[in-house]
Every structure is written in structure tokens, then in C-alpha cells.
């Protein structure tokens, strides 16, 4: 049911403990799936009790928070678990550009969740576990260029390097899109299962046709405690990690990304812990420099308030972020849609987990639009950046092809 703010009927929500359900993604009865799974734990959901398209504009996060306050504040909630993710939950996806349409919040009818050995079932309205249909692979996949050809994107990288070396800009993140067309409609359950199995350390997500496995946790919010995993600086999976830690370009790119997160969180936090040195995050296709930032909020702000403060980070925009973000569409020649935007979930307590939509694709019938991005610095080589982007495409290509 799609509704306007304030016009929805009260929700009747029931959450009860259940036995361990096993593999969460295998529970999804049909292709209309909502997921957030990390190392096997998380939430999967289906059905729509409420759905709203969020109006574009700079106030969209506040609008979404107020809409949810109305939806959850008047709900009849029987929550026998009372943990982050129990009770009513909304899944959401926000576009990268606040001026772009397509941001959405959905309150599913059925949620199955597991965290730290405890599992639960949430239903909204009459319990209906859904009609089960088999997930069928999409068949042969063919690829075609998105907004730019490979040489065209290398030219955009070269233009970004020239802009950086001329002064006033330190880093800009440029993305590519790639179009995949299958023989049949793409059932998201097939690529989601493959992503969760191959990339368990990532957050496998599905909201409104946007699916992926992001390594980047924008924020986890539990009570007053928050956590953000910052990634910037990348090498292929087979390369020597020492080259990443010894690379001035990658280290500086990472420093800029951490600084932007620290600056965004400081006004919200009574305590903030920023690591002095990054660690290594190794994935099957790439390796990243990673820093885990933790803190405690001042006033119990909701997870959406933290998301609003953080987005966009330097890791997906650049440095200075406002200048870099203004340059991005001119060089990329495309609308990113939900790519590099916040994606995740929020409950009635304001707790939740949100990632940055990376290593992802937007599904539309038999068509998938894949995305990959790279941080461009003054010393960036266009051919090397193209190779990095190609390595980042491989996660979704594997998910589609098997």
C-alpha cells in the first residue's frame, strides 16, 4: 500500500521469538524481497504494509524520519523480543543525489530476523508467510556499455586528474555503469544467495530492486552507540597488502575519507573514537584500507539523523566533498540513482543499520544496471582506475552469472 504522510491506518504489529530459521535468504518466498544479511545474521522480509516514495530535496531524511514517526508512533505493537530490528521495521534506499527521484521506504508485512543466536518473526496485520515460488536463474547474460564506454570513462578520469592538479580539489570519486541483459527476468533471490555465500563479510541488501553486497557500513545505531566502517584505498585481491599500506595515494585517500566521517559525527557525539591507523579488509575480489569509527550519541538521535549527517562521505564523493559532488555528474554523464546512496533499515526505536550502496545493481525485469566507482587523486592513472572499476564489477557479474 502506497500512502502519503499521515494518511495510513494504524499498523498492528506482532513480534515473537522463533527457532533458528537456518539460511535467511532461502526463506524468501518470491522475488519481491527485502534483505540485510551479514555473516548469516540480519533481516529478510517480504510483502508491503506501507510504502512511500520520499520527495527529493535537501530535507528528505527529515521527511522520512517524520513519516516513520507517524507510521510507528500510532502502531499497535506487541514486541516480545525487544531487540534492534524487532517490532516494526522499515527498509529504505536513498538516491545518491538529493535532487534525484527514487528514494523509498517500505514497511514489510513479514520480517524474519536473527542476531547473536536469537531469532524472531515479525508480522504486520494478518500473518501471511506468502506463496512460495521457485527462484530460477536468469539464463545467459550479455553486457553493454552504460553512460560511457571504457575509453570515454578513462577520458573522464583524465579530466578529473587535470581538475585536481590545477588546484582546489583533492579527490573525486567517479563511477561507471554497465548494462547486463538476461534471457529472462532476474529473480533477485538468485544473485542475493550467491552474494551472501561468497561475500559473507559484506552486507547483502535488497530494497526496491536495488541489490548488492556492500563492504561499507555507513552506520550501525544501537541505543546511543554508533559504529561506522570507513573504506578507501583499494588493490586487487592477489596483490601484496604492503603495497596498499605503503601507497601515499591510497593512504591519503583513506585519511580524507576518515576525516569526513569524523567531522560529520563529532557534532552528534558525546564520545568518538577514531583509529590512528587503518586495518586491512580482504574480500574475494579486492582489498581495502578500513577504519572502524565508534562513538556514543549526545541526545539519542535516530539512525536516520546520523545517515543525514554522514551522506555523502568523502569515500563516495570526494574532497572537498561539496565541490567534488558538484563535478561528478558532469564527468560521469549519468544519474547514479541509488548507487553510493544510503541503504538499510530502521526500527521504531530509531535503531538500525545503513550501508553505502556499493557493489550493486538496479534490477528491472531482465535488465540490470551495475555500478562501480574509484577514488581519483592527482596521481591516478586512467588505465589503472579502469582496471579497478572492472574488478569491482566482478562481484555483481558473479552474482548474475554464477
Q: Which residues are catalytic?
A: 171, 216
CA–CA distance, 103 with 54 (Å, rounded to integer)? 5
Q: Specify burial of residue 217 (Cβ count, 10 A radius: 0-12, 13-18, 19+).
A: buried
Q: Specify burial of residue 70 (Cβ count, 10 A radius: 0-12, 13-18, 19+).
A: middle
CA–CA distance, 302 with 351 (Å, rounded to integer)? 6
Angle between helices 248-265 and 303-310 (to 10 degrees): 130
CA–CA distance, 151 with 10 (Å, rounded to integer)? 54
Q: How many CB atoms lie within 10 A of CB 129?
A: 14
Report, in angstroms and rounded to the nearest whole number, the Rg of the chain calculated over CA atoms.
20
Q: Of 64, 47, 52, nearest to 7 (Cα)?
A: 52
Phi then psi dihedrals of residue 105, to 5 deg: -125, 140
- Cβ pair 107, 48 in contact under 8 A: yes
Q: Of 240, 220, 231, 186, nearest to 359 (Cα)?
A: 231
Query: Torsion angle of alpha carbons 188, 192, 194, 200, nearest 10°?
Result: 170
Cell 547483502 locates to 204
First and final CA of the chain: distance in angstroms? 34
Task: List Cβ neighbours of 267 (8 Å cut-off, separation of 6 or more).
Answer: 309
CA–CA distance, 263 with 289 (Å, rounded to integer)? 19
Amino acid at each position: 500500500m502506497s500512502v502519503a504522510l499521515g494518511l495510513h491506518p494504524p499498523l498492528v504489529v506482532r513480534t515473537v521469538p522463533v527457532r533458528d530459521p537456518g539460511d535467511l535468504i532461502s526463506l524468501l518466498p518470491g522475488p519481491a524481497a527485502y534483505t540485510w544479511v551479514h555473516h548469516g545474521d540480519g533481516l529478510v522480509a517480504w510483502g508491503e504494509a506501507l510504502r512511500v516514495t520520499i520527495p527529493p530535496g535537501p530535507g528528505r531524511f527529515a521527511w522520512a524520519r517524520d513519516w516513520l514517526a507517524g507510521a510507528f508512533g500510532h502502531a499497535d505493537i506487541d514486541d516480545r523480543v525487544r531487540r534492534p530490528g524487532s517490532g516494526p521495521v522499515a527498509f529504505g534506499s536513498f538516491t545518491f543525489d538529493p535532487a534525484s527521484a527514487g528514494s523509498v521506504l517500505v514497511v514489510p508485512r513479514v520480517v524474519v530476523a536473527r542476531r547473536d543466536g536469537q531469532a524472531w518473526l515479525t508480522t504486520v496485520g494478518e500473518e501471511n508467510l506468502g506463496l512460495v515460488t521457485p527462484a530460477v536463474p536468469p539464463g545467459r547474460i550479455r553486457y553493454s556499455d552504460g553512460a560511457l564506454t571504457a575509453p570515454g570513462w578513462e577520458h573522464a578520469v583524465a579530466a578529473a586528474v587535470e581538475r585536481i592538479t590545477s588546484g582546489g580539489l583533492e579527490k573525486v570519486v567517479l563511477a561507471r555503469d554497465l548494462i547486463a541483459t538476461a534471457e529472462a527476468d532476474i529473480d533477485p533471490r538468485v544473485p542475493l544467495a550467491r552474494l551472501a555465500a561468497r561475500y559473507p563479510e559484506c552486507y547483502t541488501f535488497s530494497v526496491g530492486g536495488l541489490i548488492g553486497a556492500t563492504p561499507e557500513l555507513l552506520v550501525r545505531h544501537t541505543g546511543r552507540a554508533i559504529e561506522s566502517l570507513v573504506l578507501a584505498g583499494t588493490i586487487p585481491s592477489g596483490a601484496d597488502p604492503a603495497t596498499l599500506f605503503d601507497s601515499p595515494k591510497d593512504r591519503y585517500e583513506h585519511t580524507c575519507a576518515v576525516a569526513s566521517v569524523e567531522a560529520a559525527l563529532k557534532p552528534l557525539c558525546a564520545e568518538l573514537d577514531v583509529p590512528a591507523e587503518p586495518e586491512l579488509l580482504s574480500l574475494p575480489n579486492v582489498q581495502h584500507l578500513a577504519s572502524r569509527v565508534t562513538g556514543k550519541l549526545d541526545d539519542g538521535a535516530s539512525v536516520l539523523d546520523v545517515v543525514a549527517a554522514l551522506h555523502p562521505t568523502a569515500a563516495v564523493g570526494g574532497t572537498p566533498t561539496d565541490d567534488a559532488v558538484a563535478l561528478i555528474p558532469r564527468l560521469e554523464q549519468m544519474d547514479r540513482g541509488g548507487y553510493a546512496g544510503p541503504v538499510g533499515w530502521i526500527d521504531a526505536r530509531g535503531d538500525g543499520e545503513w550501508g553505502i550502496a556499493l557493489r550493486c545493481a538496479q534490477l528491472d525485469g531482465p535488465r540490470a544496471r551495475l555500478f562501480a566507482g574509484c577514488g581519483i587523486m592527482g596521481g591516478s592513472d586512467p588505465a589503472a582506475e579502469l582496471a579497478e572499476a572492472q574488478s569491482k564489477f566482478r562481484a555483481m557479474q558473479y552474482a548474475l552469472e554464477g
